[in-house]
Amino acid sequence: MTDPERQKDDQLNPAQGPEPVVSKPYIMPDDPEEGSAEALAKEAAESRDKMLRTLAEMENLRKRTAREVADAELRGVTSFARDMLGVADNIRRALDAVTPEARASAEAAAKALIDGVELTERELLKALEKNGVRQFTPHREKFDPNLHQAIFEVPDASVPAGFVVQVVQPGYMLGERVLRPALVGVSKGGAKVPASVVTNDNAKKSA
């Protein structure tokens, strides 16, 4: 078939030409921005959780370290203070051994020595108090087994039973802790404790 004839045949039979191209429907992919936002939110939440855990661990470490340092300092002060209490006791015994009559009749040198010992005692107690050690003498206070150690009882009808009537040895506190209880004599068989005293005592304990 010649070219003119082929062209004429194509014009008469257009269906035999090349097949038309059919477009397929376009399917939208998942929104990439939506997935990215969810991933970022999840990552941010995980990072925040890790940060909070780290901060909590650091705070616990700080508190534990501070507590350990305070305990170490307290142990050091406690050991030193207990050693010094024996010195304070010996100074007080020496002063108690000097009667008022002996002090009055003592010569100038002896009086100066006594005054020097008293000054030493005051300075020692002041140094202990500066380091948190406080002396207490619970005379006429209600007996407290947490603070006092009873070594004898005293029959005294003028004092309510269970009150301290004599302090044999003063006690010492280190902060809020008892470094050494006071050695005391306690009244026995006296009058009943007034209600006002009991109320005030309970108020002090609750405070």
What single letter denotes the amino acid at residue 157?
A
Looking at the fold, whether 113 and 159 belong to one and the same domain comes out as no
Looking at the fold, whether 59 and 127 belong to one and the same domain comes out as yes
- Whether residue 169 lies inside any domain: the answer is yes
| Residue 198 clears pLDDT 50, i.e. is over it | no
Looking at the fold, whether 147 and 161 belong to one and the same domain comes out as yes
Q: How confident is the model at residue 205 (pLDDT cuts 50, 70, 90)?
A: very low
Tell me the CATH number at 177: 2.30.22.10
Q: What's the pLDDT tens digit per position in 74-128?
A: 777 888 888 899 999 999 999 999 999 999 999 999 999 999 999 999 999 999 9
DSSP 58: H
Q: How confident is the model at residue 69 (pLDDT cuts 50, 70, 90)?
A: confident
CA-wise closest residue to 87 among 30, 34, 133, 52? 133
pLDDT number for residue 33 = 53
| Residue 8 clears pLDDT 80, i.e. is over it | no
Report the number of distinct structural domains present in the chain.
2
Looking at the fold, whether 143 and 156 belong to one and the same domain comes out as yes
pLDDT number for residue 114 = 94
DSSP 159: S
Looking at the fold, whether 173 and 144 belong to one and the same domain comes out as yes
Residue 149 φ/ψ, nearest 5 degrees = -125, 110
**Cα 153 to Cα 165: distance, rounded to the nearest angstrom:** 9
**Cα 28 to Cα 19: distance, rounded to the nearest angstrom:** 27
| Residue 10 clears pLDDT 60, i.e. is over it | no
**Cα 130 to Cα 127: distance, rounded to the nearest angstrom:** 5
CB atoms within 10 A of CB 179: 19
- Whether residue 159 lies inside any domain: the answer is yes
pTM of the model: 0.58
Looking at the fold, whether 67 and 127 belong to one and the same domain comes out as yes
**What is the largest distance, in Å, between two alpha-carbon atoms of the chain?**
163
Q: What's the pLDDT tens digit per position in 133-153?
A: 999 999 999 999 999 999 999
